[in-house]
Amino acid sequence: MADTYTQIYIQFVFAVQNRVSLIHPDWEQQLYKYITGIVQNKSHKMIAINGMPDHLHIFIGFKPVDHISELMKVVKGESTKWINEKGFVKKKFRWQAGYGAFSYSRSHIDRVYHYIMNQKEHHQRKSFLEEYTGLLEKFDVDFDERYIFKPVNG
């Protein structure tokens, strides 16, 4: 039986429900470790994870063992349950529906890694919505403004 060989790198971007800034510095590293465990348990390789209080970026070496949508369903569902069980937020925590998924070649790994790991500095110059719509435009993804992550109070 022949083996399957792949080289698939995907950056995922997803936001807290209504983009409320709920991810606190006191527990964000625990969240990153938890999500890394989910990704690795699904046979993928975590390359980078970082974010802001209202959204996350994860960059993985994706193995074609399941569907992208299934992976995001598990990552968001399991991390939501974990955050709520830990009592990290006063109200019920939820991720906003949807996500962005952007593929890269091997030659871009270092650049994307540094981009994700420098999120806090990056967002001193650019808002999340500017960043996200910029990614959609850069990757020539058709999108409907009605379905872009809602701004706070939006």
Q: What is the pLDDT of residue 3?
A: 82
User: What would the mean pLDDT of 97-111 be, rounded to a whole number?
Assistant: 96
CA angle 105-108-114, nearest 5°? 145
Average pLDDT of the residues in 68-86: 98
DSSP string, 84-102: HHHT-SSS---BPS--EEE
pLDDT at residue 1 in the model = 46
Q: Express each pLDDT in 15-49 by its tens digit.
A: 999 889 999 999 999 999 999 999 999 999 999 99
* Range ranked top by mean pLDDT from 4-8, 114-118, 142-146: 114-118
DSSP letter assigned to residue 62: -
- Identify the band that residue 70 occupies on the pLDDT scale cut at 50, 70 and 90: very high
Which residue, among 62, 81, 80, has the nearest Cα to 71 in the 3D structure?
62
Residue 135 has pLDDT above 60, yes or no: yes
More confident residue, 148 or 105: 105
Q: Return the CATH architecture of domain 9-147.
A: 2-Layer Sandwich (3.30)
pTM: 0.91
Residue 72 scores a pLDDT above 80: yes
Residue 86 has pLDDT above 90, yes or no: yes
- Domain chopping of the chain, boundaries: 9-147
- What residues contact 38, with CB distance under 8 A and at least 6 apart? 74, 75, 78, 79
Q: Quick check: 113 and 48 in contact, CB under 8 A?
A: yes
